Amino acid sequence: MIELGHLAIEVTRNCNMYCAHCLRGDPENAAASIDLLDRLFSQVSHVEHLLLTGGEPSMRSDILHSLVERAKAWGCTIGYFFVATNAKQYHAGFVDALDELYGYCRQPHRCGLSISIDQFHEKADQKALQEYRSLPYYTKTLEKGRLKPYKIVAEGRAQHNGLGNHTFSPKEFLYCYRCSGDRLQVSDTVYINALGDVLLDADLSYERQRKYSIGNLEQTDLFGLLTQRLFVCGSCHTGNIYTLRYQADAGIVDQTAYTQTLYFQNAARAFGAMQSMGRNIYHIPMNAAPEDIPDDLIIREKEVFKENDLDFLEGKRFHYETASGKKLGTVEIILRQIVPEDRDD
């Protein structure tokens, strides 16, 4: 059986808005089926964090009801959920389904529903605003008012419209996991789209999802798909210590230059931490109030190579600049291994 720390389920690819910054692309006539939910929950015994995405999830309350029903039927427990809506229309069935899911979650205090409010979304329906905001699990997380360009992923329609300053290199492996016999625990995000495709990345357009899918639940069981993607470092050895150094120029994290070093005994977790640290740079690029971060901030990512450093494993350098060419500084992340002196290879 499988336990998932972060599972994202694409409820539907349909949407009742046509936002210019949408990373998914144009709506498609596809939605998660009961058969897909059965294939999923028959193999998964627990989901800690469930993300319900789309499309616009509120348009398919029937699928949300089925999700709760099938999870219960297969005995899959859920910790908590998060879902965003554009609130263009009020859907009583959507609320009923979320209330049911909320009642089933083991950590209901961590559940969240939020309304996407920014310069790209159409004006929300007043009744939807009032009713959704009154729910015990409502959060203002996505009521941004205005999204800055650095927050937009240049995927799908956003890329077509010239919006967004960055894309992510799709993840190829699972880094945070435990596997013993027929039991698998995964802390990395696993994304199941409406077509049954399994992905290791949630920030991809529909087009790129087709390219980077690691398989489909209709053809292969989830356990088999995930275990084929467990990261194993060929040049790493048991007993090594791994150091992950984060170094930022003055003005990026602090007024002065900043350095932090993390230590790991597990190679996969060290590589996973490096992946997460690189992603977080785009989500929280500078230690400043959002209004103080330049609107035209661009972060350019480059690989770092240290050929003469035998302990070097991987490195990345992030160059901060504005669209006008002003250099703001760099952040460098370096992963190295420390081989014990008493080890005899």
CATH match of 2-227 with 3.40.50.2300: no
Q: What pLDDT band is residue 288 in, cutting at 50, 70 and 90?
A: low
Residue 290 has pLDDT above 80, yes or no: no
Compute the average pLDDT of residues 309-334: 91
Residue-by-residue DSSP string for 184-199: EEEEEEEEE-TTSEEE
| Per-residue confidence (pLDDT) for residue 336, from 0 to 100 | 93
What average pLDDT does the structure give for the chain? 92
Residue 40 has pLDDT above 80, yes or no: yes
Structure token pair of residue 186: 């995964």
Q: Are 101 and 68 in contact (CB under 8 A)?
A: yes
Higher pLDDT, residue 144 or 137: 137
pLDDT digits (tens, 9 = 90+) for 223-282: 999 999 999 887 677 778 999 999 999 988 888 999 999 999 888 999 999 999 988 888
Cα(164)–Cα(152) distance, integer angstroms = 4
Higher pLDDT, residue 268 or 192: 192
Residue 328 has pLDDT above 70, yes or no: yes
| Per-residue confidence (pLDDT) for residue 341, from 0 to 100 | 65
| Per-residue confidence (pLDDT) for residue 310, from 0 to 100 | 79
Q: Are 318 and 284 in contact (CB under 8 A)?
A: no
pLDDT digits (tens, 9 = 90+) for 62-100: 999 999 999 999 999 999 999 999 999 999 999 999 999
| Per-residue confidence (pLDDT) for residue 255, from 0 to 100 | 83
Residue 307 has pLDDT above 80, yes or no: no
Q: What percent of the chain has pLDDT over 90?
A: 73
Higher pLDDT, residue 42 or 169: 42
The CATH number that domain 241-338 falls under is 3.40.50.11630
Cα(218)–Cα(129) distance, integer angstroms = 38
Structure token pair of residue 242: 């791994």
Q: Are 129 and 87 in contact (CB under 8 A)?
A: yes
* Angle subtended by helix axes 61-74 and 34-41, to nearest 10: 30
Residue-by-residue DSSP string for 263-331: EES-HHHHHHHHHHHHHHHHHS-SSS-GGGS-TTEEEEEEE---TT-TTEEEEEEEEEEETT--EEEEE
Residues with Cβ within 8 Å of 234's Cβ and at least 6 positions away in sequence, in order, are: none
Indicate the pTM of the whole model: 0.89
Q: Are 244 and 312 in contact (CB under 8 A)?
A: no
- Domain ranges for the chain, please list them: 2-227, 241-338
As a whole number of Å, the CA-based R_g of the chain is 21
Structure token pair of residue 12: 């539907």
| Per-residue confidence (pLDDT) for residue 285, from 0 to 100 | 77
| Per-residue confidence (pLDDT) for residue 56, from 0 to 100 | 97
| Per-residue confidence (pLDDT) for residue 311, from 0 to 100 | 87
The residue ranges of DSSP E strands in the chain, in sequence order, are 2-10, 44-53, 77-85, 112-115, 177-180, 183-192, 197-199, 215-216, 241-248, 258-264, 297-303, 312-322, 327-338
* Angle subtended by helix axes 92-104 and 61-74, to nearest 10: 20
Higher pLDDT, residue 6 or 294: 6
Q: What pLDDT band is residue 316 in, cutting at 50, 70 and 90?
A: very high
| Per-residue confidence (pLDDT) for residue 239, from 0 to 100 | 78
